[in-house]
């Protein structure tokens, strides 16, 4: 047998072994008992409870009436009269207990926008975390009578809101 043939035979024998060794391993733990399954389920529920909760979705538009009519028709909701504390936004309830608000710009420099306000337990800490991630505070934490405390920041050219009840 010549050297080339020996190398081919060795390669044919080694390739399957290399494929087995190099194959990705399944590193996700699989529950082996009912107790493991229950723990995994509890962890999933805890994560769901900590998931983002959009408490208020704000739409700023010069077409308030038309936007409210379109949303009402598409989703079968009714919008309130303007609420002064929310910049005269007309609101409708969301299924999860939050609200959607539609209002006109409050000054000439305010551009149309859609802003999600995420419910947080500690607005000061959440605002600091947003700043640490590169966000810029637009509106520091401020109390809205009868509504809660809000703050706004900009991150990646997107306006984000925080809301603490």
Distance between CA atoms of 104 and 59, rounded to whole angstroms? 8
Q: Is 54 left (phi over 0), alpha (psi -120 to 50) or beta?
A: beta
Domain that holds residue 136: 120-165
Q: In what order do the strands lie in the sheet with 158-164?
A: 90-93, 99-103, 54-60, 113-119, 158-164, 148-155, 136-144
Q: Are residues 70 and 108 in the same domain?
A: yes
| pLDDT tens readout for residues 50-74 | 678 999 999 999 999 999 999 999 9
Residue 72 sits in a domain of what CATH number?
A: 3.30.720.120
Q: Are residues 101 and 73 in the same domain?
A: yes
Assess if residue 150 is contained within a domain: yes
Assess if residue 85 is contained within a domain: yes
pLDDT value at 29 more than 90: no
| pLDDT tens readout for residues 106-136 | 999 999 999 999 999 999 999 999 999 999 9
Q: Which helix (H) or strand (E) holds 116?
A: strand 113-119
Assess if residue 14 is contained within a domain: no
Q: Are residues 102 and 61 in the same domain?
A: yes
Among the candidates 82, 97, 114, a domain finishes at 114
pLDDT value at 12 more than 80: no
User: Count of domains in the chain?
Assistant: 2
Assess if residue 35 is contained within a domain: no
CB 163 within 8 A of CB 144: no
Among the candidates 75, 97, 114, a domain finishes at 114
Assess if residue 42 is contained within a domain: no
Assess if residue 65 is contained within a domain: yes
Assess if residue 18 is contained within a domain: no
Instruction: State whether the Cα torsion 20-22-24-26 is positive or negative.
Output: positive
CB 126 within 8 A of CB 113: no
| pLDDT tens readout for residues 73-98 | 999 999 999 999 999 999 999 888 89
Among the candidates 114, 132, 148, a domain finishes at 114
Among residues 158, 52, 147, the alpha carbon closest in space to that of 113 is found at: 158
Residues 6+ apart with CB under 8 A from 60: 103, 104, 105, 110, 111, 112, 113, 114, 115
Residue 127 sits in a domain of what CATH number?
A: 3.10.180.10
């Amino acid at each position: 047998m010549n050297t080339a043939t020996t190398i081919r035979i060795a390669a044919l024998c080694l390739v399957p072994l290399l494929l087995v060794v190099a194959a990705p391993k399944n590193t996700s733990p699989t529950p082996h008992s009912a107790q493991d399954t229950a723990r995994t389920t509890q962890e999933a529920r805890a994560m769901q409870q900590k998931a983002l909760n959009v408490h208020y979705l704000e739409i700023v538009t010069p077409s308030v009436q038309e936007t409210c009519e379109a949303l009402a028709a598409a989703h079968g909701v009714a919008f309130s009269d303007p609420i002064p504390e929310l910049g005269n936004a007309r609101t409708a309830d969301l299924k999860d207990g939050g609200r959607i608000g539609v209002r006109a710009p409050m000054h000439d420099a305010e551009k149309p926008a859609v802003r999600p306000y995420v419910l947080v337990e500690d607005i000061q800490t959440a605002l600091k975390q947003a700043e640490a991630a590169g966000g810029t505070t637009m509106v520091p934490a401020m109390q809205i009578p009868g509504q809660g405390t809000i703050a706004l920041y900009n991150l990646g050219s997107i306006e984000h809101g925080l809301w603490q009840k």
